[in-house]
A = this chain, B = another copy of it.
Amino acid sequence: MYILIQKKGKMMSRNAIVLGVDPGSVITGYGIIQREGRASLLLDCGYLQMSSSKHIAERVHTFYTFFEQKIVQHHITDLALETPFCGVNPQSFLKLGYLRGVLYLLAQQHNMQLHEFSPSEVKQTVTGYGKASKEQVERMIMQLFPKLPIQKKKDVTDALAVMLCGLWQQQRPVLPMR
């Protein structure tokens, strides 16, 4: 799927291809975007679904193989992740750690630049308001990418939101001052 986004602002000298991931032990959303001059091109997006009946070691391996293929295929240069928020269930937090550990490893193995953003930074970047609701983030992403398939929308839109943070972080439009 190819979607063009118009972007204003100072161009980065580096030709970045950013992978944004929203990892989950069952559903992991991802998006891959390439900067091309003043525009950006969404190269790929979707989700990886892993069976919860599989042992976590098998899921970790599936996760590694899936993202390694994406990284090689699209020549990813940058990885964007949201910093984890510790929920009520420590076991979920541990499983999230397994997958994030794999992403850290891939970032190092493939010389990717790693960017991490807090949940409020992601909301601020996408909606302009750090305390925006999840629905507002989702609506904003759907406006930017109107042709997105709607299945597993939430997991994919969360990944696209953090991907945009990785893309825009050094490229925000700046108004000239006297």
Contact = CB atoms under 8 A, between A and B. Distances in A.
Secondary structure call for the A interface: helix
A177 interface: no
A69 to B, nearest CB: 15
Contacts of A60: 101, 104-105, 108
A119 interface: no
A93 to B, nearest CB: 6
Interface string A50-85: 000001111011001000000000000000000010
Interface residues of A, number: 27
Nearest to A107: B57
Given A57-B114, A95-B97, A97-B97, A105 B107 contact: no
Interface string A84-120: 1010001101111111111011011100001000000
A57 B110 CA distance: 12
A105 B104 contact: no
B93 A97 contact: yes
B105 A64 contact: yes
